[in-house]
Structure 1
Amino acid sequence: MEKKFSAAIAGACMLLCLGVANAAATAVKAGPADAQFKAIYTQEWKWRLSQKQEDGEDDDDSGVSPALPRIDLATQNSRTAYWQGVMKKLEGIKESKLSAPERINYQVYKAQIAAFLAAQQFREFEKPLNADSAFWSNMAGTARRTMATEAEYRDYVKQLADVPRYFNDEIVNMRAGLARGFTPPKVTLVGRDASITSVSDAKTPQDTVFYLPFKTMPASMPAAKQEELRAQGVKAIETAVVPAYKNLLKFMREEYVPKAREELAAESLPDGKAYYQSKIVEFTTTSLSADQIHNIGLEEMAKIRAEMQDVIKQVDFKGDLPAFLQFLRTDPQFYAKTPEELLMRSAWVAKKFDGKVAQYFGYLPRRRFAVIPVPDDQAPFYTSGRGGPGVYLVNTYNLPSRALYSMPALTLHESAPGHAFQMPVAMEQKGRPPFRNAYISAFGEGWALYSERLGAEMGMYETPYEVFGMLSYQAWRASRLVVDTGIHSKGWTRKQAQDYLHANTALSDHEIETEVDRYISWPGQALSYYLGEMSIINARKKAEKALGQKFDIRAFHDTVLQLGSVPLPVLEARVDQFIADGGKSPYSSLE
């Protein structure tokens, strides 16, 4: 069943790749097919919201959920059956009968449902953690949001009281995964219990992350009401949250980690080859094989190394690439002395972009973002930075591993025009079904990596070392194509992967270790970045060649971002339409 399903979604992706451009060329008015399709996704979306299938899904302005997700086996089986029914209905719609807007929605939605079904078929709910994140650390996201009303606080207290039930269900699922060898590799779990002990070993409820909302409460709320809610919060943390974390810690230390699998490769998991291919389809939105991706990575790495050599000559460094990388990793001039210095450098790059943005983008998002440090309990195993709507997280842990020359590329990727810019633009588009706000890694990460390259064109890199920082980051993402497929399909060891990154990027040893563990425990995700960037770059080159002097970089960027997250074949077809329309901005009718 699983092999058959994985082949089916890979085949669906191939058909999408081949057929989407032709479908986009045919103009069809809204008709019965549109209504039929809208009825399917409207009903499913309403059902999906009722499921609250993952904690943190409400990271918007919709309030605080009074309960955590239902993730028990009966619920999972029900979801599988429901999405199978949805897919059957989708396959009954003729895509050629849909209007142009709904055709794009259909392509995005069908791929989304296929990914959900693949995750259910391979029972990914039995492995709700990796080296980068876990259900218990994701859950703390609610505690870091601003609460404004009494109702939100009361719902938050109810959510805290639901933690024991939720954790117990997760443990039951993890035991099922453990029994069939479906776990992250043991080596990637070492030390990851620090984010559990930050709660389980806290001296008082007030010392946990879950008390944060009670530290600063709305001034408009009466003092007596504030005290009442604080007391309820303390009780819930003390009687529900902390005991649940203690129980989880015992399970992780005594049962889960000791029995976790030793093998690294996704292909060593149950039905592993089909599973890894399903992750390739999900994260790249292509039907490329592991071998094809591995070879693309090797070819791209050779090109980037040639660019690196040009920079080494430019700075007149006497030595080869390994010697230059060692110089960059060890010379104090390249590293911040304090966390504040790193944060300020990040903020400076972001503001420098604001001075250039009008030359490259027509539509600017209304939502701004803050630059804040990664929380202490997550920082040791967290990536160097992460961005999204309203926030750019900068990791200030272990400053000797956070090179200043890499900060411009990192900031462009995570803040603007990367994630904290792209996501709000997508969310601000009107008349789009809510499922279109879902994040598709190949598009989102591809755009963010493209933003790093764009920085050179924009004059964001002030020194050759900063240019090299960008190239090192390009090599980092291209090397992922080699390393991810090497680990999961070609039998690479952890050390082999670490050595490859050490030889080909300027990443610190600490970053290399955390990154490789992330790739080991999260198969396929690392493939999305460079393949997505290549798709955008190739689409731009095609548009520039076809349009000549009519090509407007602002119109091109607006066209790409206005789409929101879509499978790469959909993006490529939209750029073909952009060319056919003479390079017009999608917002030209509003001017």
Structure 2
Amino acid sequence: MPVSRTSLFLTLSLVGAGAAPSPLLAQSAGVTTTLPAPAADGPADTKLRALYEAEWKWRQEQFGSSGRGGHARGSRLPAVDARTQATRLAYWNDVLKQLDAIPRDQLSAEEQINADVFRAVVSGYATDIRYKNYEAPFNADTFFWTGLTPREGFETAAQYRDYIARMRDVPRYFDEQITNMRAGLKRGFTVPKVATIGRDKTAEPYSVADDTNPFWAPFAQMPNAIPAAEQAQLQQEGRAALNDLVVPAYAKLLRFLRTEYIPNARTETAANKLPDGDAYYQAMIEKFTTLTLTPEQIHAIGLKEVARIRAEMEATKTKAGFTGSMAEFMTFLRTDPQFYAKTPKELLANAAYTAKKADYQLKHVIGFLPRYRHGIVPVPPALAPIYTGGRGGLEACQMNTYNLPVRPLYTLPSLVVHECTPGHSFQAALALEAPARPEFRKQAGFSGYGEGWALYMEWLGTKTGIYETPYEDFGRLTYEMWRAARLVVDTGLHHYGWPRQKALDYFRENVALSEHEITTEIDRYIAWPGQALAYKLGEIQIRRQRAEAEAKLGVKFDQRIFHDVILQIGPVPLPTLERAVDAYIAAGGRNLNPWPRSVVAEQTASAP
């Protein structure tokens, strides 16, 4: 059950520099210290399983299954037309009605978690369709036209045939997207113009009829298990689909973007200026954060966090021996050559060094370690100019080596522990070894949980030797300030009507990122209302609950068990995570649901 807006706002606001809220505040936020549930599965569990299994099967029929990396499988791309969207909304509304009829207190502990995740996921899908987000189907750095090709080839001939069938389906898929975007243009619901400019260039590599087209990449690395004659036949069919259907579809999309959509996209940046804008922005806040805070409450939390971090930055500047003003120090950090890599390999090498430092500390930080390991690779050239500084993933953690003079090395340690290990890539590896769970839950993701953990890992680096110089520690604070400033800027833009320039100026004043990074980030917030809010709110919750655990458990507190409790529950809404950690504290610091092969007990004697 979600906590009240007012009580959680008070709890978050009083966190300060990590102090735990009083027991009275924790109780007023509606937090329970146990997960009450019957001892054995009952009728409620049976009903819930039937509901989410049926919905998952239906969802796969609607969207197709996904392979590793999230790329589509099957012989058809999903339908995205308005009629299909309306059908989906009606279905999900009915699912939510059925879910409401299942008493939560009659569910087993694991099914309570499943119910929480299922409700949040289905509610998010329904919310997106209710507000017709499909009429603005891309944002500043995520595009429906760039996610259709895998990074690697396929394993079987059948998979190649499905891929060729999807290639042949691209014209239909793009036509439906264009129709939706035209409907959005008509009612003033578009991606803001400032966040569309230059984004059309990301489609250009797909519009050429040669081997450099990303659609051709899987055909250039076909497995030997497929006979040579069959490989040749598949390549011939793939070439025909590429030249006759895919390339013309991208050319048509580019014409639409350049002559119709971008010129007529809305110039107003505030989400609350959209149709039903106030309700829309609140709905996006709740979808992304899984909390019911208002824009005003989040803005206040952000201002408080910015002030706290600013004081820490001043202290770190002094530690670095810099005697000038904060503005002068930020200028120094942005412009001095010592802080920037000379070659892509130098940046990647620095990232790899930090990742290995993090690996070295894992035995002291986390009890259950996954077997899978990731690589570190550059962001693909087609995406790099408008991409973030880095992004984690199961196969590889990507670091952006484009335009090196805007990629400061002093922020790289924070970026690596956030995106790679023990952040997102580590989370993805751990998910491979999760116990049997419903498929819908394996595919679920929540920014407050995932990004909150990654931000918490940045802070934990202060305890594990990640930051070797005051400059690197200032880089960490820069990243923390970045996420705190998001709370102010996102609500400023979309609720208080800040112009883009005010948002840019606020970031320049408070965050020591390069001008390129600041512009890229602000445009992302403009195009994706509410998405950036969950990061800091999730981190605040995890740090608060750690402080509570340390205070209540004393010498019984073991950070490895605390971290296992968070990681092993998997992506969940923040109120669900809150209940799970409170149950761990109430149990005296024991992990109530340890995974098999956990090494926590074996390593207790070597705790730091």
Q: What is the TM-score when the length of structure 1 is the normalising length?
A: 0.94
What corresponds to 2:168 in structure 1?
161
Q: Would you say the 8 A contact 1:23–1:96 is kept in 2? A: no
Q: Which residue, out of 339, 343, 350, partners 1:345? A: 350
- CA drift at 1:65: 2.3
1:161-197 alpha-carbon deviations (Å, 9 max, x no partner): 1100100011011111111111111111111111112
How far 1:228 sits from its partner (Å)? 1.8
For residue 445 of structure 2, the aligned residue among 418, 439, 443 is 439
Q: C-alpha separation between the residues in 2 aligned to 1:33 and 1:25?
A: 14
> Is the Cα–Cα contact under 8 Å of residues 20 and 570 in structure 1 kept in the other structure?
no
**Contact 2:3-2:575 at 8 Å conserved across structures:** no
**Contact 1:413–1:448 (8 Å) recurs in 2:** yes
Residue number in structure 2 paired with 1:396: 401
Q: Is the 8 A contact 1:186 1:262 kept in 2?
A: yes
Q: Secondary structure at the match of 1:135?
A: coil
SS of residue paired to 2:497: coil
Shift of 1:462: 1.0
Residue in structure 1 matched with residue 44 of structure 2 by the alignment:
33
1:156/1:116 Cα in 2 relative to 1: closer, same or farther (>3 Å)? same
SS in 1 for 2:102: coil
User: 1:89 — aligned with what?
Assistant: 98
Per-residue Cα deviation, 1:362-398 (whole angstroms, up to 9, x for no partner)? 1112221121111111111111111122221111111
Q: Out of 240, 247, 254, which is 1:242 matched to?
A: 247
Is contact 2:455-2:480 (8 Å) kept? Answer: yes
> Is 2:205–2:382's contact at 8 Å kept on the other side of the alignment?
yes
Kindly tell me: are residues 451 and 218 of structure 1, through their superposed partners in 2, closer, same or farther at Cα, counting changes over 3 Å? Answer: same
SS of the residue corresponding to residue 193 of structure 1 reads helix
Q: Partner letter of residue 231 of structure 1?
A: Q
**Counterpart contact for 1:161–1:241, Cα < 8 Å:** yes
Q: CA deviation at 1:109?
A: 1.0
2:145 corresponds to which of 110, 131, 136: 136
Task: Tell me the residue number matched to 2:460.
Answer: 454
Deviations 1:307-354 (A, max 9, x none): 111111111112011100000000000000111111111111111211
Matched, 1:230 2:235: yes
The structure 2 residue matched to 1:188, chosen from 188, 195, 215, is 195
8 Å CA contact 1:185, 1:263 repeated in 2:
yes
**One-letter amino acid of the structure 2 residue matched with residue 191 of structure 1:** G
The answer (yes or no) to whether the contact 2:66–2:72 under 8 Å persists in 1 is no
- Which residue of 135, 146, 156 corresponds with 1:149? 156
Q: What is the alpha-carbon distance in structure 2 between the residues aligned to residue 63 and residue 516 of structure 1?
A: 30
> 2:204 & 2:351 partners in 1: Cα distance?
30
User: 1:425 touches 1:564 (CA, 8 Å); kept in 2?
Assistant: no
Aligned residue number for residue 4 of structure 1: none
Counterpart for residue 411 of structure 1:
416
Alignment deviations for residues 27-47 of structure 1 (CA, whole Å, 9 cap, x no partner): 553101000111000100111
Letter in 1 for 2:129: Q
Superposed CA offset, 1:128-166 (max 9, x none): 011111100122xx3313311111111111111110010
Matching residue within 299, 304, 308 for 2:309:
304
Change (3 A) 1:480 1:457: same
Partner of 1:457: helix, strand, or coil? coil
- Worse-superposed segment, 443-452 or 62-71: 62-71
| Alignment of structure 1 residues 261-300 onto 2, 5 Å | 261-300=266-305
What's the counterpart of residue 3 of structure 1?
A: none
Say whether the 8 Å CA contact 1:181–1:261 is kept in structure 2: yes
Tell me, what secondary structure is at the counterpart of 2:398?
Answer: strand
| Equivalent of residue 63 in structure 2, options 52, 57, 77 | 52
> How much has 1:205 moved relative to structure 2?
2.5
Measure, in 1, the Cα distance between the counterparts of 2:597 and 2:263: 60
Q: Are residues 1:472 and 2:483 paired?
A: no
Deviation at 1:10, TM superposition (A): 8.8
In the TM superposition, what whole-angstrom CA distance separates every residue of 1:522-551 from its partner, at most 9, and x where no partner exists? 000110110000010011111111100000
TM-score (normalised: structure 2): 0.91
Whether 2:569 is the aligned partner of 1:563: answer yes
TM-fit CA distance, 1:588? 7.5
RMSD (Å) for aligned C-alpha atoms: 2.2
Map 1:569-588 → 2, pairs under 5 A? 569-585=575-591, 586-587=593-594
Of 316, 320, 323, the residue aligned with 2:321 is 316
Question: What is the distance in 2 between the residues matched to 1:430 and 1:46?
Answer: 20
SS state at 1:392 partner: strand
TM-aligned CA deviation for residue 426 of structure 1: 3.1
In 2: Cα distance, 1:494 partner to 1:62 partner: 34
The one-letter amino acid paired with 2:374 is F
Note if 1:511 corresponds to 2:513.
no
Q: From 157, 182, 197, give the equivalent of 2:204.
A: 197
Counterpart secondary structure, 1:372 = strand
1:448-486 Cα shifts (integer Å, max 9, x gaps): 111111111111111111111110000000000000000
Distance in structure 2 (CA, Å) of the matches to 1:85 and 1:247: 38
Residue type matched to 2:47 in 1? Q
In 2: Cα distance, 1:205 partner to 1:23 partner = 60
Aligned length: 577
For 2:147 and 2:4, the matched residues in 1 are separated by 28
Q: Distance in 1 between matches of 2:119 and 2:227?
A: 49
Q: 1:116 Cα deviation (Å)? A: 1.2
Q: Please name the residue that 1:502 is paired with.
A: 508
What's the counterpart of residue 360 of structure 2? Answer: 355
Partner of 1:83, secondary structure, is helix
Residue 287 of structure 1, CA deviation: 0.6
Whether the 8 Å CA contact 2:167–2:242 is kept in 1: the answer is: yes
Q: Is the 8 A contact 2:568 2:595 kept in 1?
A: no
Q: Write the distance in 1 (CA, Å) between the matches of 2:66 and 2:54.
A: 18
Structure 1 portions without partners, runs of 5+:
1-6
- Any stretches of 5+ residues in structure 2 without a counterpart? 10-26, 599-608
The answer on whether the counterparts of 2:435 and 2:595 sit within 8 Å (CA) in structure 1 is no
Report the alpha carbon displacement of residue 97 of structure 1 after superposing the two structures with TM.
0.7
Shift of 1:18: 5.5
Aligned with 1:24 (options 32, 35, 60): 35
Paired residue secondary structure (1:143): coil
Identity of aligned residues (%): 49
Alignment of 1:486-501 (within 5 A): 486-501=492-507
Of the three residues 158, 174, 181, the one matched with 2:181 is: 174
Within 1, Cα distance between the matches of 2:53 and 2:226?
38
* 2:606 alignment partner in structure 1: none
CA distance in 1, matches of 2:350, 2:468: 13
Change (3 A) 1:339 1:39: same
Query: In structure 2, what is the equivalent of residue 253 of structure 1?
Result: 258
Instruction: Say yes or no: does 1:116 pair with 2:122.
Output: no
The alignment partner of 1:84 has SS state of helix
Cα deviation per residue 1:396-452 (whole Å; 9 max; x = unaligned)? Answer: 111011011111100000011110011332342112111212111111110111111
| Corresponding residue number in structure 1 for 2:110 | 101
